């Protein structure tokens, strides 16, 4: 039989900001790509700052390409650029922690 409609699958498209997360369930044809799911979700209407051609995307935390084919139940994630390098932040926190412990500071009358 030709002309038979392709089966539909359900996936989610997720985008997170520091203070909110959006997860949009969508139905796409079997064989759809990450890009097709993102466009179907219309998430860019809510978040116009998403530059799809340059954004990093993935499925369940694993980087992928816009052309990757989805499976039923996949969670498409659109990643924001990092504001700070995680290694630098950890290094800074460790340095601050060492200073605090090493110096000890004044304890006051109760801590003598």
Q: Report d(CA 112, CA 109) in Å as an integer.
A: 6
Q: What are the strands of the beta sheet with 62-64, ordered from one edge?
A: 20-29, 8-17, 75-79, 56-59, 62-64
- pLDDT tens for 5-56 read 679 999 999 999 888 899 999 999 999 999 999 999 999 999 999 999 899 9
Provide the CA 60 distance to its chain's centre, in angstroms.
9
Q: Are 7 and 29 in contact (CB under 8 A)?
A: yes
Region 8-103: CATH code: 3.10.20.30
Q: Report d(CA 41, CA 20) in Å as an integer.
A: 17
| Residue 29 or 3, more confident | 29
- pLDDT tens for 59-104 read 999 999 999 999 999 999 999 876 666 676 677 777 777 655 554 5
Domain boundaries, the chain: 8-103
pTM of the model: 0.69
């Amino acid at each position: 039989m030709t002309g038979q409609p392709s089966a539909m699958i359900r996936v989610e498209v997720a985008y997170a900001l520091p203070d909110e997360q959006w997860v949009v369930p969508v139905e796409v044809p079997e064989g759809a790509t990450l890009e097709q799911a993102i466009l179907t979700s219309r998430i860019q209407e809510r978040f116009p700052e998403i530059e799809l051609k340059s954004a990093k995307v993935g499925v369940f935390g694993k980087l992928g390409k816009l052309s990757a084919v989805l499976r039923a139940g996949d969670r498409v994630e659109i990643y924001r650029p990092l504001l700070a390098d995680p290694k630098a932040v950890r290094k800074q926190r460790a340095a601050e922690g060492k200073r605090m412990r090493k110096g000890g500071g004044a304890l006051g009358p109760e801590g003598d």
